[in-house]
Structure 1
Amino acid sequence: MDGPNSFGKILLVEDNPGDVRLTKELLKEAGFDPTVHVVSDGPDALDFLHQRGEYADAPRPDAILLDLHLPRMNGEEILEEMDDDSRDVPIIVLSGTQQEQVFEDDDIAAVVDARVEKPLDPDEFDAIVQSLSEQPAE
C-alpha cells in the first residue's frame, strides 16, 4: 500500500446516519478522499463483500469500517461469515462498548486490524487509518 491513496474504496458498515457523517468527516480531515460505500446492516455488508444481489457490481474495498451493533446481524456475526478473500482487507471495528468484552473469541479478534471506540476520537482514528494505509500489501 502506498499512503492515503491506498484507501480509495472503503466499505462503511454503520446504521447510524450521524456516525456515517462523522466517519466521512474524519477521513477527510485525515487527508483521505476515499469513495465510501455505506451499508446499514450485516446481510447487506455480506452481499456487498460477496458481490450478490443489488451489490453484484460492488468494488472490492481497500478497507472495511465495521460497527459491531447492527440490525439483523451484528458485527461479530459478519466477521464469522466473511470469506478468506474478504479477510485480506484491513478491518477497523467501530464499537460503542468496551472492545475487551466484545472480542472474547480469539478467531474473530485475529481478523480485526484495529478497534476504535465510539464516539470516535479524531486523533486516534487518524493515527489508526494512517498506520493501516502505510502497511505493505501482503
Structure 2
Amino acid sequence: MKTRPIEILLVEDNEDDIVLIQEVFGDASLVNVMKTVRDGEEALAYLRGEGPYRDALVPGLILLDINMPRKNGFEVLKEMKSDPRLRALPVVMLTTSDREEDVLRSYADGACSYIRKPLDLQHFSKVVGQFELYWTLVSRLPVSA
C-alpha cells in the first residue's frame, strides 16, 4: 500500500520529544519534510511567512504541543483559526497532557485530533503507524500552497 507523503510542521519545545518524534516519523513513509519550531510565536511566524520564514512552504499538517514558551498551543490554535489564511490547516494536538479539559478545549478551539504522546518508543512507533495510515489513506488534506 503506497502512501502519499506530506509536509508536517512540528511545534514542540522539548528537545527529547523533538528527537523522538523525528526519529519515529523518519522511519515512516508519511513524511517527506518535517520542519520544527520551538514555540508558539515562532510557529505563527512560520505559518504567516514572516521574518526568516518568508520562503517557508505552508505545511499539510501541524503537530502542536500545548505547553510551550511565549505562546502556548491553545493560543496558537486560536490565532490560526481566526486567520482566514490559516484556519483550514489541519492541527493535531500532540501533547503529554491527558487532562479532559485540554481535550475538550482543543476540539472546541478547532483541533482536528488530540493525541497523547506515548511514553515509550515502541508504543509511539505503533501510534505513528496508525497515524500514517489515517492521514495518508483515509483523510484528505488540503493541497499545500
TM bucket normalised to smaller: 0.7 to 0.9
CA RMSD in angstroms comes to 2.0
Q: How many equivalent residue pairs?
A: 133
Q: Deviations over 1:8-38 (max 9, x none)?
A: x211101111111111111122223421111
Partner of residue 13, structure 2: 15
**What are the ranges of 5 or more consecutive residues in structure 1 without an aligned counterpart?**
none
Asked if 2 retains the 8 angstrom alpha-carbon contact of 1:39 and 1:45, the reply is: yes
Partner of residue 88, structure 1: 88
Asked if 2 retains the 8 angstrom alpha-carbon contact of 1:10 and 1:37, the reply is: yes
- Percentage of matched positions with identical amino acids: 32
Asked if 1 retains the 8 angstrom alpha-carbon contact of 2:3 and 2:29, the reply is: no
SS state of the match for residue 64, structure 2? strand
For residues 84 and 126 of structure 2, the distance between their equivalents in structure 1, rounded to whole angstroms, comes to: 31
Give the counterpart letter for 1:47 in structure 2.
A
For residues 89 and 16 of structure 1, the distance between their equivalents in structure 2, rounded to whole angstroms, comes to: 23
Give the counterpart letter for 1:62 in structure 2.
G
Counterpart among 127, 131, 135 of residue 130 in structure 2: 127
For residues 132 and 84 of structure 2, the distance between their equivalents in structure 1, rounded to whole angstroms, comes to: 22
Cα drift, residue 132 of structure 1: 1.5
Which deviates more from structure 2 when the two are superposed, residues 125-134 or residues 17-26? 125-134
Normalising by structure 1, we get a TM-score of 0.84
Cα drift, residue 71 of structure 1: 0.4
For residues 136 and 91 of structure 1, the distance between their equivalents in structure 2, rounded to whole angstroms, comes to: 13
Give the counterpart letter for 1:117 in structure 2.
R
